[in-house]
Chains A and B, each alone.
Chain A
Amino acid sequence: NAGVMQNPRHLVRRRGQEARLRCSPMKGHSHVYWYRQLPEEGLKFMVYLQKENIIDESGMPKERFSAEFPKEGPSILRIQQVVRGDSAAYFCASSTRGFVTGELFFGEGSRLTVL
Chain B
Amino acid sequence: KNEVEQSPQNLTAQEGEFITINCSYSVGISALHWLQQHPGGGIVSLFMLSSGKKKHGRLIATINIQEKHSSLHITASHPRDSAVYICAVGDYQLIWGAGTKLIIKP
Contact = CB atoms under 8 A, between A and B. Distances in A.
Interface in A85-99: 89, 91, 93, 95, 98-99
Interface string B5-36: 00000000000000000000000001101010
Interface stretch (B37-45, B61-69, B74-82): B37-45
Contact of B35 (A99, A106, A109, A111): A106
Contacts, number: 58
Nearest to A104: B45
A56 B44 contact: no
Contact of B31 (A93, A101, A106, A111): A101
Interface residues of A, number: 28
Contacts of A65: none
B45 A106 contact: yes
Contacts of B48: 101-104
Contacts of B98: 42
Which residue, B33, B92, B94, has most C-beta atoms of chain A within 10 A? B92
Top 7 A-B residue pairs of the complex, sorted by shortest distance between their CB atoms: A42-B96, A106-B43, A108-B42, A45-B93, A101-B31, A103-B48, A101-B91
Interface of B: 30-31, 33, 35, 40-45, 48, 86, 88, 90-94, 96-99
